[in-house]
Amino acid sequence: MTELKRLLLPLDGSALAEDAIPLATLLAKTFGAELILLRVLDLPLPTLEVKYPENHWVREAMQANFREAQRYLDDQGMLLNDAGVRVRTIMRDGSPAEDILATATDEAVDLIVISSHGKGGPSPWTSGSVADKVMQHSRCPVLLVRNN
């Protein structure tokens, strides 16, 4: 049996993405694995800065989004830490699926635990586009958690 030392749990701030937290927590506790919480913000900052170079509101709005996302991730991390899970948080800015895959490689994770849907919402016929891309291109196993 493969030993699970490091798990990756991508969260986008939605209740749907949080459906994967209980199973990721159970696996982390069972195997004594580190749980990495990942938040990827898809911020169009370079495009907006080129379009509106003299407007500071663009940068300020993006920085506010980043701070809010980091606070969310830190809060989730504290809850899991209080539950006895070894947790680390990572924030990235970019394409969600690509950054999930890159983080999995960079951090040498043994398993990605991902919700079938996030902010985009559920569909009765398919999993979400981010989850689909992660499942198709991941070099490590992916556990897809179906939303309730």
Round the average pLDDT of the chain to a whole number and report it. Answer: 86
Q: Please name each of the domains of the chain with its CATH number.
A: 6-145 (3.40.50.620)
Mean pLDDT throughout 101-126? 78
Mean pLDDT throughout 80-84? 96
Please give the share of the chain, as a percent, with pLDDT higher than 70: 81
The residues with which 8 forms a beta bridge, in sequence order, are 36, 112
Band of residue 126 on the pLDDT scale cut at 50, 70, 90: very low
Residue 144: both structure tokens together: 């897809």
Q: What is the pTM of this model?
A: 0.86
First to last CA, the chain: 29
Query: Regarding predicted confidence, which is higher, 77 or 60?
Result: 77
Mean pLDDT throughout 102-116? 96
